Copies of this chain bind each other. A is one copy, B any other.
């Protein structure tokens, strides 16, 4: 990719975070849909329509393709609520039928404020759907053995169906050793290489799919986006989002390309895609000119940019220049309120799935 330069995106107010040159393209956009986007009858959900002046209005309606320049907003907040409701219903049915309550254990080492916030919100989300949550809070100077002892205890606790080690771990610990200690049957994060291997292989299926990429796929499915035979580009190749997202799209029969830091012409390649998933962590990297008219854009990035008008002095934006994307794409996830809320919903869904599998409950 090209070296960092300033950009001229006035709408984004985030020029200093934009490390990629906006390639000059003489190609005229053809404003026609590239992806068939129709809602399944079973999954009618609310969508907000963004007009070209950037204002949104909420309404429950089916998403249908049109040839104008206003993208539909894929509402992750709404879909995640829908999923949480479904999980709550299943948790209640399971408890009623066999007296089992799914349990999620979270291990937190140290006292990072952000990690504490994440753990708190996971606990709260568990409570809301009736999943029992367990917590092990260990001091920063714990040894690897301390952590492994807790993992082992949770592995052997029949009331725990999912185990999650909050990352990052303190520097003196080996992340790989610790993550590998989580039993594969309880690896609700889906990060175990055995799960990733099964995800990559045809005819094999992982016990768990990593939560964020699973959330991206769920958004595509619930908005009726056809994946089979479509060109998909994943920007970023991290172990927890980009790479497994590419494997999932591939399993769903898309033709997938992965764009990463060594890619020489990311804009040109991305512009070929009917479906774009960006998970690279660079504010407003993906400009309107990167997007094929009519494409569906899933923005995983959550990046803080300076904003003197915000009480906190900053605001959160995605990897995608939202306003520009809305002019070109057929559907876009906003940040916040797009993929973000899906991750915890998928964690709850994975924990329920695990409890059902362990107790053979259909």
The verdict on A198 contacting B193 (CB below 8 Å), with A257-B257, A258-B250, A258-B256 known, is yes
Residues of B within 8 A of A256 (CB): 257-258
In the assembled complex, A167 has its CB within 8 A of some CB on chain B:
no
Judge if A111 is at the interface, Cβ distance under 8 Å: no
Closest CB of chain B to A150's CB: distance in Å? 24
CA of A202 to CA of B259, assembled, Å: 15
Number of interface residues of A (CB under 8 A): 35
A358 contacts the other chain (CB 8 A)? no
> Nearest Cβ in chain B — how far from A232, in angstroms?
10
Chain B contacts for A262, CB-based, 8 A:
228-229, 253-255
Which residues of chain A from 232 to 281 have a CB within 8 Å of any chain B CB? 237-239, 243, 247, 250, 253-260, 262-264, 269
Binary interface encoding of chain A residues 47-88 relative to chain B, with 1 for a CB under 8 A from any of its CBs, else 0:
000000000000000000000000000000000000000000
Please tell me if the beta carbons of A263 and B255 are within 8 angstroms of each other in the complex. Answer: yes
Interface membership of A172, Cβ < 8 A: no
- Are the C-beta atoms of B255 and A259 separated by less than 8 Å? yes
For residue A205, give the distance in angstroms from its CB to the closest CB of chain B.
10
- Main secondary structure, interface of A, reads mixed
Asked if A238 contacts B198 (CB within 8 A), the reply is no
Is A195 close to B, CB under 8 A?
A: yes
Report Cα–Cα, A199/B231, bound state, in Å: 24
Asked if A258 and B255 make an inter-chain contact with CB atoms under 8 angstroms apart, the answer reads: yes
A311 within 8 A of B: no
In the bound complex, what is the Cα–Cα distance between A258 and B234 (angstroms)? Answer: 13
Query: A192 near B: Cβ within 8 Å?
Result: yes
Return A228 CB to nearest CB of chain B, in Å.
6
Among A194, A243, A269, find the residue whose CB has the most chain B CB atoms closer than 10 A.
A194
List residues 191-224 of chain A with CB under 8 A from any CB of chain B: 192-204
* Closest partner residue, chain B, to A254 (CB atom): B262
Cα A202 to Cα B175 with chains together (Å) = 13
* Chain B residues, Cβ within 8 Å of A201: 193, 196, 239, 243
Docked Cα-Cα span, A269 to B231, in Å, equals 10
16 A–B pairs (Cβ distance < 8 Å), ordered by A: A176-B203, A193-B198, A194-B194, A195-B197, A196-B200, A197-B198, A197-B200, A199-B200, A200-B247, A202-B238, A203-B239, A237-B250, A253-B262, A255-B257, A256-B257, A257-B257
